[in-house]
Amino acid sequence: MELLNDIKNVFLPEFIITLFALLALILSFSLKKEHQNLIFFTSVAGVIFALYSLMLMGVSIEQQGFYESFVSNNFTAAFRVIILIGTGFTLFLSKDYIASFGKSIGEFYFLLLTATLGGMILCGANDLVAVFIGLETLSISSFALCGYTKSDILSNEAALKYLIFGAVASAIMLYGFSFLYGITGETNFTFIASFIQNYNFNSLLMIAFLMILAGFGFKISAVPFQAWTPDVYQGAPIPVAAYLSVVSKTAGFAALIRFVDIIFVESTLFAITLGVIAVITMTVGNLMALDQQNIRRLLAYSSIAHAGYILLGLAIMTNDGITAIIFYLITYLFMNFGVWAGIELFALATGKDNIDDLNGLAYKHRYFAFGLVICILSLAGIPITAGFFSKFYLFKAVISAGYEYTPLLVIALINTVVAIFYYMRVIKAIYVMPDEEVRSADIFRISFPVRLVMLISVVGALILGIFASPFIEKAKTVNISGIETILP
């Protein structure tokens, strides 16, 4: 009975995703090849049901389940919504992309739903073991997804690199966990936090923190755990790359924020650590992106840079910062999926993914080019797009956090300027460069689901930019009932 109650109170969306993942698996070996499309609809239905159940579940008060190892509240609900919407987008992106490879469609959806399950567990995990289980579920499914296109050498290489890197990161993290367990004798976040409050600070705790950071840093691709990102984004199937850059990252951030805000909130030293990692991450991401020729690698570095900005919101350790992060992740969901959908449309039509290949695109497909440019401008943070307001709000939170954060802010602002340079290169290719090689591929006839994702993303990026205030207010309420009790 208690198990059922726990599922009902805190675990309902995850449970639904589990059921549908299993259903997808069963369908994948029982259906004929012509009917495999049904699995796509099953998965979409699963995501929709999970979203719906999240609405049914009362999330306004914090509830715990499974011997307090899993919590559900407003904060985790916000992240779970982002993850589920991101998964929905990924499903739409994959439908035609995966079908074009011909074989074994079903397992892809199964793996995707499993990864989502891992991400959602990561959001609500309130126990070191639960964190590890969530992380591994997400990681192992992602490894398989990366290598899904078996005949593609790049895809194989990506999967292997991701696997090795992920295994090492997990091992380091586990080592950190064992330190933490050794110090406190507890695995539950709440107990650890109350133990640490009365604990005399020492280097052991710092080492444990840094090692645990390696695991999260790997998921959100923060420096120096970022090296896998460009290779994997370039090699993995495009929907998987989009999934890694948004959903997997969101899950990593959810766990990291809860972990830091509950356990390590006391000392300024952790804040400094996070701040330093944040500025290094954004600087490295932006500098490396400057001369990239491949748009997928460019996006990989851009996603590293964005992880840096988001970490900045965590480093200031205020409620405003958390609100800014949530809003940032919502906008990031739309603008990044918009760009990835654009890249996929282009790749499906032409099979190319270099920036030069986009030359003169605007004169061929002006709506497509326009949508792509809106999303890129949003990533760069140009006004009236969502990206501007999320950056604006984040930097405002940094200013109001105190004068000691001003150096971080200055570096972040310089980075924003540098970033405009490489985003503009893409826009320049689309609008200004002459169209030397004629590409007659007709993008408008390709893949309705991908175009739909693109449309939703562009509309989202514009609406969030023009009417930012209501969403920010919403993000504020999330934060207050979520973890305000823990933050000072």
Partner 1 sequence: MDQFLEFFIENAGIIAALPLWTFLIIIFGQNLGVYDNKKITVWLTCASTFIGFLWALFIFLWTLGAEEPFTKNIAWINAGNIQLSFGWLLDNLAAVMLLVVTSVSLLIQIYSHGYMNKDEGYHRFFSYLNLFNFSMLGLVLSSNLFQIYIFWELVGLSSYLLIGFWYRRPSAAHAATKAFIINRIGDCGLLIGIISFLFFSLNWWAASGDVYLSFTSLQPAAEYVLTSAGPIVYFLIATAIFLGPMAKSAQFPLHTWLPDAMEGPTPISALIHAATMVAAGVFLIARAYPVFEASSCVMTTIAWIGGITAFITATIALTQYDLKKTLAYSTCSQLGFMVMAMGAGAFAAGLFHLVTHAYFKAMLFLCSGTVIHGLNDQQDMRFMGGLRKHMPVVAYTYLIGCLAISGILLSGFWSKEEIFSGLYAGNNVSLLSLGLIVAFMTAFYMFRTYFLTFEGQYKGHTHPHNSPKVMTVPLILLAIPSALLGIMLSGKFFLPSFDKYIIAGKESFIHLEHNENLLLPVISILIALSGVLTAAFFFWDGFKEKRESVKITADNVIKSAKPIYALTTNLWYIDKFYYAFIDKVFLPICNFISRFDKYIIDGLVNLTATKIRFEGWVLRQFQTGQIQTYLAIMFAGLIGLVLIFVLLQLLLI
Instruction: For residue 171, give every residue at least 6 positions away whose Cβ sits within 8 Å of its Cβ, in sequence order, or none.
Output: none
CB of 205 to partner 1, least distance (A): 9
CA–CA separation, 34 vs 107, rounded Å?
15
Distance of CA 222 to the CA centre of its chain: 12
CB of 98 to partner 1, least distance (A): 26
Instruction: For residue 155, give every residue at least 6 positions away whose Cβ sits within 8 Å of its Cβ, in sequence order, or none.
Output: 146, 147, 148, 149, 235, 236, 237
Contact flag: residue 372 with partner 1 (CB under 8 A): no
**Tokens 């006839």, residue located:** 445
* Residue 295 main-chain phi, psi, to 5 deg: -70, -25
Contact flag: residue 418 with partner 1 (CB under 8 A): yes
CA–CA separation, 229 vs 158, rounded Å?
9
Among 199, 201, 363, 448, binds partner 1 (CB under 8 A): 201
Contact flag: residue 340 with partner 1 (CB under 8 A): no
Neighbours of 276 (CB within 10 A): 14
Contact flag: residue 101 with partner 1 (CB under 8 A): no
Whether 38 contacts 29, CB under 8 Å: no
Whether 234 contacts 294, CB under 8 Å: yes
Report the site for partner 1 in 133-162 (rule: CB under 8 A): 160-161
Instruction: Collapse the DSSP code of 216 into the 3-class scheme (helix H, G, I; strand E, B; otherwise coil) and give the result.
Output: helix
CB of 51 to partner 1, least distance (A): 27
426-465 footprint of partner 1 as x/- string (CB under 8 A) = ----------------------------------------
374-413 footprint of partner 1 as x/- string (CB under 8 A) = ------------------x---x-----------------
CA–CA separation, 79 vs 161, rounded Å?
28
Distance of CA 160 to the CA centre of its chain: 21
Among 24, 27, 82, 172, binds partner 1 (CB under 8 A): 172
CB of 214 to partner 1, least distance (A): 6
Contact flag: residue 259 with partner 1 (CB under 8 A): no
Contact flag: residue 472 with partner 1 (CB under 8 A): yes
Q: Which is nearer to partner 1, 214 or 254 (CB)?
A: 214
Among 45, 171, 269, 410, binds partner 1 (CB under 8 A): 269
Query: Which of the ranges 270-278, 344-352, 371-379, 447-455 carries the binding residues for partner 1, by CB under 8 A?
Result: 270-278
Neighbours of 268 (CB within 10 A): 10
Instruction: Collapse the DSSP code of 444 into the 3-class scheme (helix H, G, I; strand E, B; otherwise coil) and give the result.
Output: helix
Neighbours of 406 (CB within 10 A): 12
Contact flag: residue 288 with partner 1 (CB under 8 A): yes
Contact flag: residue 363 with partner 1 (CB under 8 A): no
Give the interface with partner 1 as residue ranges (CB under 8 A).
160-161, 164-165, 168-169, 172, 201, 203, 206-207, 210-211, 214, 223-225, 227-228, 230-231, 269, 272-273, 277, 284, 287-291, 367, 392, 396, 418, 421, 467-470, 472
